[in-house]
Structure 1
Amino acid sequence: MAEMEFERRLERLFAEVPELPDAQAFAERVERRLATGWTARRWLIGAAGIAGGVIGASQLIMSNLFQRVESAGDSAKVLEQGLSQLTPHEGWVSGFADGGAVVWVASALAIVAMGFTLTRVIEEL
Structure 2
Amino acid sequence: MADLDFETQLSRLYGQAPVFRDAELFTQQVTGKLDRGWALRRVLIGATGVVAGVAAAVQLVGARFASEFSQMSQDSAHQLYASLDKVVDRYDQLFTLGGGETLWLGVALVVLALGFAVTRLVDEV
Bigger helix share: 2
Output the TM-score relative to the length of structure 2: 0.45
Rg comparison, structure with higher value: 2
Output the TM-score relative to the length of structure 1: 0.45
